[in-house]
Amino acid sequence: MTYTDPVTRAGSPAYAATDRYTVISADCHAGADLLDYKPYLEKRHHDAFDAWAATYVNPYEDLLADTADRNWNSDRRVAELEADGIVAEVVFPNTIPPFFPSASLMAPAPTRQEYEQRWAGLRAHNRWLADFCGAAPGRRAGVFQILLNDVEEAVKEIRRAVGAGLTGGVLVPGTPPGSGLPELYSGTYDPLWAVCAELGVPVNHHAGSASPPLGEEPAARAVFMVETTWFSHRALWHLMFGGAFRRHPELKLVLTEQGSGWIPGVLAMLDYYHGRLVAAVSRRDTAESKFGAGLAEAMGKGPSEVWRDNCYVGASFMRPHEAALRDRVGLDKIMWGSDYPHDEGTHPYSREGLRTAYAGLPAAEVAAMVGGNAARVYGFDLSCLDKIAARVGPTVGEIAEPLKEPPAGATSPVFAPGGGARVW
């Protein structure tokens, strides 16, 4: 059965194969085992890599566990995702790139040599990722990494990565307070937006990559959990108010693993400030007039229009209250994700997670959110994926059935008691 979603803007189709959904996870994570990055490094960095790797202590327990190979074992991933009803994935990074103290691209690197080594490490990851995606043709859209400290070098790496077959677009780190980098609204980064628009690949901004360091006290860790998604949201209004979408109308921004229930309220707030500041320009005798000077010309369209035309959300482990807001967010904007292989992800209970979020909704709308939209944004070929989904995808009837109670042992927030009230 092929579903055409009448709500999806511009008639973009959403599909399901026969009576099954074609499920694409718009949020998965992968990376090489530490020593396996060496062949992907330029040889001039091999000795430095050996010295670094010999003393490096991985700070992440999940990368030391028996299940760590889910990050790089291609056959295991395919089997586990298929068992979970998923036929394709957008692949964000997860393991530690060479020469980094942690996975954070914003970790301080005070010397030029360290910056050069970290660029080498990111290129090694991107090369590895191209091979990893090539091991499952048509089923992985790899998201490649850059640093923001050298825009010219970043543009070169974007071109190289796209040329190597990575279709997931670029992962743009945030610029948290204290980073020493220009904010994302700065014209400094315009060459990045230009090349992504030219090549037709998304700019991705993932949760957790934009928070300032807060320390390790219990209160600091709690504050991080409360604030980390807000810091990630900042990329939205920075690029909007900075005029990136006016200068590059084809640019696509994807905000991933940040929830989706916050979007209608934030768009209303941004529309309010935009309208208020633009109107204030004509009242030159007011103190507020200077805040709106040049804003209308820089932005072009207002925030809600920019969202409608240029923005998407990777709505990982989507919850019922978020699905209820789908028309306000934009049905053609929402891309479900399992967050495999993270503990907070829905694996191995993604079918149950889909039932929790989407039971009772029109099948065409579900098909758009669980796969059709991601196929359009990331360039997956649904005619190929539908054939796999006909074998492993969840059935329309299965997802339509409400879940009476969460699976025992499930750790995803989608199953948390009272989780439906949280809007992130």
Rounded average pLDDT over 397-409: 95
Query: 1 lies in a domain?
Result: no
How many angstroms separate the first and last alpha carbons of the chain? 35
3-state secondary structure of 93: strand
Q: What is the pLDDT of residues 153-179, one digit of tens each?
A: 999 999 999 999 999 999 999 898 888
Amino acid residing at 103: A
- pLDDT of residue 200 exceeding 90, the answer is yes
CA distance 17 to 393: 8
3-state secondary structure of 243: coil
Pairing of strands 140-142, 144-145: unpaired
Query: 3 lies in a domain?
Result: no
| Residues 348 and 84: beta-carbon distance below 8 Å | yes
Least confident of 47-56, 67-76, 285-294, 327-336: 285-294
pTM, to two decimals: 0.93
Residue closest to 98 by CA, chosen among 70, 80, 123, 67: 123
Query: 4 lies in a domain?
Result: no
Query: 2 lies in a domain?
Result: no
CA distance 234 to 237: 6
Look over the chain and give the mean of its residue pLDDT values, rounded to a whole number.
91
- Helices of type H across 56-148: 74-83, 112-134
Whichever domain contains 157, its CATH number is 3.20.20.140
Q: How confident is the model at residue 18 (pLDDT cuts 50, 70, 90)?
A: low
Rounded average pLDDT over 113-126: 95
Q: What is the pLDDT of residues 94-118, one digit of tens each?
A: 999 999 988 777 776 678 889 999 9
- pLDDT of residue 420 exceeding 50, the answer is no
- pLDDT of residue 16 exceeding 50, the answer is no
Share of the chain above pLDDT 90, in %: 77
Domain with 256, as residue range(s), is 9-421
Per-residue tokens: 417: 């008691």
- pLDDT of residue 290 exceeding 90, the answer is no
pLDDT of amino acid 287: 85
- pLDDT of residue 424 exceeding 70, the answer is no
Query: 191 lies in a domain?
Result: yes
Query: 36 lies in a domain?
Result: yes
Per-residue tokens: 330: 């934009």
Query: 83 lies in a domain?
Result: yes
Residue closest to 36 by CA, chosen among 68, 77, 65, 81: 68
Task: Find the angle CA(218)-CA(222)-CA(223) to the nearest 5 degrees.
Answer: 115
Rounded average pLDDT over 10-26: 70
pLDDT of amino acid 312: 98
The total number of structural domains in the chain stands at 1
| Residues 22 and 15: beta-carbon distance below 8 Å | yes
